[in-house]
Structure 1
Amino acid sequence: MEEKMLQEIMAAPYEIQFKEIPIPKVEPGQVLVRIKRIGVCGSDIHVYHGKHPYVTYPLTQGHEVSGEVVSLSEEVTGLVIGQKVTIEPQVYCNHCYPCTHGKYNLCENLQVMGFQTVGASSEYFAVDASKVTPLPDSMTYDEGAMIEPLAVAVHACKRYGDVRGKKVAVLGAGPIGILLCQALKAFGAAQVMMTDVSDYRLELAKSCGADYVYNTKKVDFANVVVECFGEDKADVIYDCAGNDITMGQAISNARKGSVIVLVAVFADLAKVDLAKLNDSELDLYTSMMYRHEDYLDAIRFVEEGKIQLKPLMSKHFPFKDYKEAYKYIEDHHETTMKVLIDV
């Protein structure tokens, strides 16, 4: 008789079900992971609200996860049963131009587990060994589930280049913004200023290493960027909020000839001053997900104590309370950073 497991199914917006299905058997080159933690991110919330443009229902979510290897096919090397792991959720073709030039995060046919392909929101998950990254024994499953969003921040740092000794402004003190602040400091940034419209989030950012924090509902960004960094302003500005206001602040107040990095996803078409962008000869970079080396740097920074993840962990919910987790996030939006599902 086949052993069964529970799998989360989002049948439609706001409708979460659980289905009992057989525990998958590993195919050649695969690993079976007993899922321990699942992180909920903003993109998951968009799916829950029916506002994600690139998903169809029903689907199984789960792309920020950690777990334990419980089985592997005989071809797999470098992993052992009982090992703590996380999963890299990108599914790419290996044939298009970006893939063949080392930029598989930009694959022309990119799919992401939990969005365009089956995610890991289940008690067990069979996945190609190439997507599995070992975690140190010292790392908790909670921390392991946050390596994926941390890798987003690490990759964003690298999009600028060498941040050592640089003065940086980060607009938006959500989970990615605060992780980015810590990653910038881990890479050697001299000073990081963060802005938001929530005092709660800014206090948390300060406790996680931000040198300066400002609520731009109360102060003018144009004034505080000079107050922090002098007339030369910031060397680079990161937009982790993704709206016309923050991008407008960045373009209007960036030092001429400097760099803006867009990390956040714009929910709507942007209306920003491209004439000013051009007149100031600003470089506008963007950042898309991560690659394997970003996972390795993220794990190393946590292991070395350079990045603290625990302050961003807001609340845990049992696996069967998936919908309650979404409701909690909706009801406590300003004060919620990372909600974790215990499987």
Structure 2
Amino acid sequence: MKQAVLTGIEEMHVADAKRPAPVADQVLVEIEVCGICGSDLHIYKGGHPTIKPPTIMGHEFAGRVVEIGPNVKAFQIGDYVAGIPGVGCRKCEHCLQDKFNLCRELKVIGGYFPGALANFTLVPEYNLIALPERFTATEGAMIESVAVAVHAVGRMESVTGKTVAVLGAGPIGLLIIQVLKAFGAKLVATSDPIEGRREIARRLGADIVIDPVKENIVDRLKDEAGDIGLDAAIDCAGLELTLNQALNITKHGGEIVITALFAKDPVFPMRLLQRAERKLLGTQMYVREDFEVAIQLVQEGKVKFDDMITHRFDLDHTPEAYQLAVSRSPEVGKIVIDINK
């Protein structure tokens, strides 16, 4: 088999490897499609605090079960599955409450453990979820990203009838827009400096689309939604600028959800958080229930991906895919790897 190995910072090579064999509760999955995520790029560029080369990345994946370990009960050979990459200790209070995302020993497939940038990947049984047979491999691989969006929206107290701004219309922002609309948000606004992303946001249901380079987002939203402010803002950009925008566009008592990874700690006016009793909410990955909801949303046609995916590569050209992903070219959206094409 082949696998794409990150051998150094921004150095990746496709190499031959021995096909692994499952033991105990492991499942061997033949990977069909694997996505590239923003967190993958942090690892690729050497910015992750603990995951360093060499490693095999890839945590957004779907494929077929081809072998199972002797203790596996939930899956059979031939099952169509997607990965749930977070691996908790399975012993702490959070893991025992099915909140592995809060485990202090949380690790991730595609970083700490070999990921899906390979023809075959070993996955613990509890880190897989069954997919409907009618799903395409791309839909299956994207379920992980949808689960991120579902979890982020779920951090809000409620969604129905609410007004929400999504700051940043990259892949996760575009999914969050759709999840908000599916859950009954009254108005969804978004801002992004890239024209192509703004156009996709319009097609996917955003009610107000703002170019933050040419428009003052605070003034525009006051004109559109009133002086009182929005019920919530979800920061998908991870900038000091967008966090400050979120504080200025939300109403007193409003919610601010942080989904993005901040490259550096932001400075912001604490008084706007404290005195208006705004709530600043963090997010960490997802839980299994978020995957179940994500699958349902895709089944019902409430979340779509076609407009978001701009580039596809095969496994042999994974290094070129990552080079493109970090180029920050405005025409680059979601990139996926067709592993067994």
Same fold (TM over 0.5): yes
Distance 2:70 2:246 in 1: 52
- Of the three residues 225, 228, 239, the one matched with 2:224 is 228
Match of 1:48 in 2: 44
> Contact 2:74/2:125 (CA < 8 Å) preserved in 1?
no
Match of 1:169 in 2: 165
Match of 2:209 in 1: 213
Distance 1:288 1:274 in 2: 23
Match of 1:308 in 2: 304
37-46 or 323-332: which moved more? 323-332
Task: Describe the superposition over 1:70-95 as per-residue Cα deviations: whole angstroms up to 9, x where unpaired.
Answer: 12234323323222211111111022
Distance 1:94 1:29 in 2: 14
Matched, 1:160 2:156: yes
115-124 or 289-298: which moved more? 115-124
Matched, 1:131 2:127: yes
Match for 1:328: what amino acid? L
- Of the three residues 141, 147, 154, the one matched with 2:143 is 147
Match for 1:70: what amino acid? V
SS of the aligned residue for 1:143 comes to helix
Distance 1:64 1:323 in 2: 17
Distance change (3 Å), C-alpha of 1:10 and 1:33: same
Q: Structure 2 regions of 5+ residues with no counterpart?
A: none
Distance 2:329 2:178 in 1: 22
> Contact 1:69/1:81 (CA < 8 Å) preserved in 2?
yes
Task: Describe the superposition over 1:229-274 as per-residue Cα deviations: whole angstroms up to 9, x where unpaired.
Answer: 2233211111111111000011123211111111111110111111
SS of the aligned residue for 1:213 comes to strand
Match for 2:118: what amino acid? S
> Contact 1:239/1:261 (CA < 8 Å) preserved in 2?
yes
Normalized against structure 1, the TM-score is what?
0.95
- Of the three residues 79, 89, 107, the one matched with 1:111 is 107
Distance 1:330 1:90 in 2: 24
Runs of 4+ in 1 over 4 A off after TM superposition: none
Match of 2:282 in 1: 286
Match for 2:126: what amino acid? S
Matched, 1:185 2:210: no
Matched, 1:63 2:59: yes
> Contact 2:43/2:52 (CA < 8 Å) preserved in 1?
no
Match of 2:195 in 1: 199
Distance 2:167 2:128 in 1: 32
Distance 1:71 1:228 in 2: 56
Match of 1:335 in 2: 331
Q: Deviation of residue 45 (structure 1)?
A: 1.6
SS of the aligned residue for 2:164 comes to strand
SS of the aligned residue for 2:144 comes to helix
Identity percentage over the alignment? 37
- Of the three residues 17, 20, 39, the one matched with 1:24 is 20
Across the two proteins, how many residue pairs are aligned to each other? 339
Distance 2:243 2:15 in 1: 43
The residue correspondences of 1:262-301 to structure 2 (distance < 5 A) are 262-301=258-297
Distance 1:330 1:75 in 2: 41
Distance 2:95 2:127 in 1: 15
Distance 1:52 1:73 in 2: 32
Match of 1:238 in 2: 234
> Contact 1:54/1:115 (CA < 8 Å) preserved in 2?
no
Distance 1:330 1:287 in 2: 24
Distance 1:164 1:339 in 2: 32
Q: Deviation of residue 18 (structure 1)?
A: 2.6
Match of 2:243 in 1: 247
SS of the aligned residue for 1:225 comes to helix
Distance 1:288 1:197 in 2: 26
Distance 1:333 1:117 in 2: 30
Match of 1:10 in 2: 6
SS of the aligned residue for 2:17 comes to strand
Match of 1:96 in 2: 92
Q: Deviation of residue 332 (structure 1)?
A: 5.5
Distance 2:86 2:155 in 1: 19
SS of the aligned residue for 1:146 comes to helix
Distance 2:186 2:217 in 1: 20
Task: Describe the superposition over 1:143-171 as per-residue Cα deviations: whole angstroms up to 9, x where unpaired.
Answer: 11111111100000110032011111111
Distance 1:268 1:92 in 2: 26
Distance 1:142 1:204 in 2: 18
Distance 1:156 1:166 in 2: 15
> Contact 1:67/1:86 (CA < 8 Å) preserved in 2?
yes
Distance 2:156 2:306 in 1: 27
Q: Structure 1 regions of 5+ residues with no counterpart?
A: none
76-85 or 246-255: which moved more? 76-85
